[in-house]
Structure 1
Amino acid sequence: MAVTISVEVELGWGVHDIGEYGHLSEDARAERAALRRLLDHCDAVDVPVSFDVVGHLFESRCEGVHDGPHRSGWFDDDPGTNAVADPRFYAPEAVTEIVDHPTPHELCSHTYSHVLCGDAPAETVAWELDAAQTNIRRATGSTTSSLVPPRHSEPPVAPLRDADIDIVRLARDTSDRSTASRARELLLGPHPVFEPRLVDGVVETYCTTYPSLTSSALPAGQQPPPAPFRALPVSFRQRLHRLYLSRALDAAVESDGDCHLWCHLFDFSNDAQWPPIRAFLDELSARRDRGDLEIQTMAEVNDRVRVRSEAVASHD
């Protein structure tokens, strides 16, 4: 069984198409501090993370005009400045920190401008993936095989193949959509265990529709949690999420399956979310060291699934 952690690094690009920035800190300092805190602790416990970074954040500056085949107005919120003037839209130093830390983290594509892959024309998706791969190559010396589609919007297969994307993270809704069921799922789980699959030449690894590494019952970035959760003491909600994460590992071990936990960078850019995550990383590392489970990046999941598929095919 394997546990994968993926973190979406979007900053302003995550919502540039809807113009809702209230969950972000004004100068993006809280998000950068959260990233450094996570990277430092990952070094301490030797836990790699798949960081899904919007390609435009690799830029240190731009003119605000891009030559892609996007719908009219798509880049209207691009400030066309630089990392000093608009740190929500440029974050090359954050990419450098991820790459330079000793732990072998993975840089995944999150498209170039957070385009919704299932809604955009194939040519737009192809442009986005190519532009993102270009920036990843500049930062690391090679392209990535992994894609996390923004907002779980499933991409067409052809642009993935053309961009040398071998694995995508897709969401699966496990709730019956009733209010009570959803609240119970968010607070107590259980977190689902999904088996990655090779589909039409692309490996699919699955996650929840909601951020599962962080808690929906705690503040998300600079915004408070939904009203029903606010009546509960913060420490109680933190304990519940700590239990949720431990149970997720238990389920993966018991079923010999895969557990993919994810969140956005902004989700844990506050003091409420970090303590359960830190404690969970400690537990994850300890259980890995005992041999209970493996920790794999998306690229490693891709390799494992393909080796297994080839072995099965050779016996048919």
Structure 2
Amino acid sequence: MTGTVTLSMEVELGWGVHDIADDAHLSDDGVAERAYLGRLLDRCDALNVPISFDVVGHLLESDCDGDHDGPHAGDWFDADPGTDAMADPLFYAPDAVEAIRDRPTDHEICTHTYSHVNCDDVSAATLDWELSRCQRLHRRRVGTETVSIVPPRHHPPPRAALLDADIEVVRLSRDTSDRGQLSRLKELVAGPHPTFEPRLVDGVVETYCTTYPSLTASTLPLGKQDPPAYFSSLPVAFRQRLQRAYLGRAVDAAVESDGHCHLWSHLYDVANEYQWPVIDGFLSELAARRDAGEVQVLTMAALNDRVRGRAPEVTTSV
């Protein structure tokens, strides 16, 4: 049996919360996020483990005047400082994109829309503007358009908009909160991580993840944000072991079922010394299991090619 694993990481910085003005989880000027991105890229290079980085399009800009011509609501871009990467590095991050792009590991740079819009809650014209703008930026900054999207806050985009933008694969979430409070708590802390097989649906490959970040531990601080108080009473080392076991079992399930596992987090989630040892150790384990022939590690783009080559297409009435 050979399972497949996809790792994806949302790179949002200030754009992830620009509409709700709640950035307490972020470091000043994104210093910690950039530092841990560097550590992550170093580790991935040492192990040759690729990640799909889902980047908000505006972060590819080096500067702007804050006056965008999109058909958005009038106040949507109010938080845009209209400056540049030096003045406001939470809103411009071409350096982070270049760091990912220039590494020897074959990482993927996906889109997370241009300004972190809820894809099912904006007009068709707005979403078309967002995706078109992203593709232009990807051509300029990355060298090629992207075929992959991770919609912000798990809001599924209309299929027609993706096809019009030449997007071929989308990460969607599956909500498991209906399993009851105790079952949900067990899943978050100890697993098992749900296994969802990717599908080709109406011309677009869908890969599925949890609604909560699964690559990082909800029992540990996420960036600068503390976990719920009832977790804080447990020893840190114990919580780290729980997450390592959770991730190992997630790979086990994919291997044993000859199936797929998609693990994800935000960049800020990993940007502290609580989460990093878990991520570091798991990447080593994943690389060792790949080298042993147990599992393949595929970006969303590579998964897209694999599913299109193997899976029958599902046609819906939507």
Same fold (TM over 0.5): yes
Q: Which whole-Å deviations, capped at 9, do the CAs of 1:53-75 have from their partners, x for residues lacking one?
A: 00000111110110011112000
Task: Give the count of matched residue pairs.
Answer: 312
Match of 1:272 in 2: 274
Q: Which whole-Å deviations, capped at 9, do the CAs of 1:139-177 have from their partners, x for residues lacking one?
A: 222101000000000000111011000000000012336
How many angstroms apart in 2 are the aligned matches of 1:222 and 1:172? 27
Partner SS for 1:284? helix
Match of 1:163 in 2: 165
Partner SS for 1:206? strand
How many angstroms apart in 2 are the aligned matches of 1:124 and 1:228? 42
Q: Which whole-Å deviations, capped at 9, do the CAs of 1:229-266 have from their partners, x for residues lacking one?
A: 11111111000000000000000001111000000000
1 or 2 for the larger relative contact order (CA 8 Å, sep ≥6)?
2
Could you tell me how far 1:311 is from its partner in structure 2?
Answer: 10
Match of 2:257 in 1: 255
Partner SS for 1:204? strand
How many angstroms apart in 2 are the aligned matches of 1:177 and 1:62? 46
Which residue type is aligned with residue 143 of structure 2?
G
User: In structure 2, which of residues 216, 220, 227 is the aligned counterpart of residue 218 of structure 1?
Assistant: 220
Q: Post-superposition, which runs of at least 4 consecutive aligned residues in structure 1 deviate over 6 A? A: none
**Alignment pair present for 1:201 and 2:172:** no
What does 1:116-131 correspond to in 2, within 5 Å?
A: 116-131=118-133
Partner SS for 1:27? helix
Identical counterparts, % of pairs: 65
**Alignment pair present for 1:190 and 2:192:** yes
How many angstroms apart in 2 are the aligned matches of 1:128 and 1:220? 28
TM-score normalized with structure 1 length: 0.97
Q: 1:181 to 1:291 in 2, by over 3 A?
A: same
- Retained in 2: the 8 A contact 1:117–1:153? yes
What does 1:1-316 correspond to in 2, within 5 Å?
A: 1-176=3-178, 178-309=180-311
- Retained in 2: the 8 A contact 1:175–1:185? no
- Retained in 1: the 8 A contact 2:203–2:313? no
How many angstroms apart in 2 are the aligned matches of 1:137 and 1:177? 43
How many angstroms apart in 2 are the aligned matches of 1:157 and 1:14? 23
- Retained in 1: the 8 A contact 2:18–2:79? yes
How many angstroms apart in 2 are the aligned matches of 1:30 and 1:178? 36
Partner SS for 1:41? helix
Partner SS for 2:205? strand
CA-atom RMSD in angstroms: 1.3
Q: Which whole-Å deviations, capped at 9, do the CAs of 1:84-133 have from their partners, x for residues lacking one?
A: 11110000000000000110100101000001101111111111111111
Which residue type is aligned with residue 65 of structure 2?
E
Partner SS for 2:178? coil
Q: 1:163 to 1:311 in 2, by over 3 A?
A: closer
Which residue type is aligned with residue 8 of structure 2?
S
Partner SS for 2:28? coil
How many angstroms apart in 2 are the aligned matches of 1:108 and 1:258? 19
In structure 2, the gaps of 5 or more residues are: none
Partner SS for 1:62? coil
How many angstroms apart in 2 are the aligned matches of 1:309 and 1:214? 30
How many angstroms apart in 1 are the aligned matches of 2:229 and 2:312? 50
Higher mean C-alpha deviation, range 135-144 or range 254-263: 135-144
How many angstroms apart in 2 are the aligned matches of 1:287 and 1:91? 34
Which residue type is aligned with residue 311 of structure 2?
S
How many angstroms apart in 1 are the aligned matches of 2:9 and 2:144? 20
How many angstroms apart in 2 are the aligned matches of 1:82 and 1:136? 18
Could you tell me how far 1:179 is from its partner in structure 2?
Answer: 3.2
How many angstroms apart in 2 are the aligned matches of 1:266 and 1:232? 23
- Retained in 2: the 8 A contact 1:4–1:260? yes
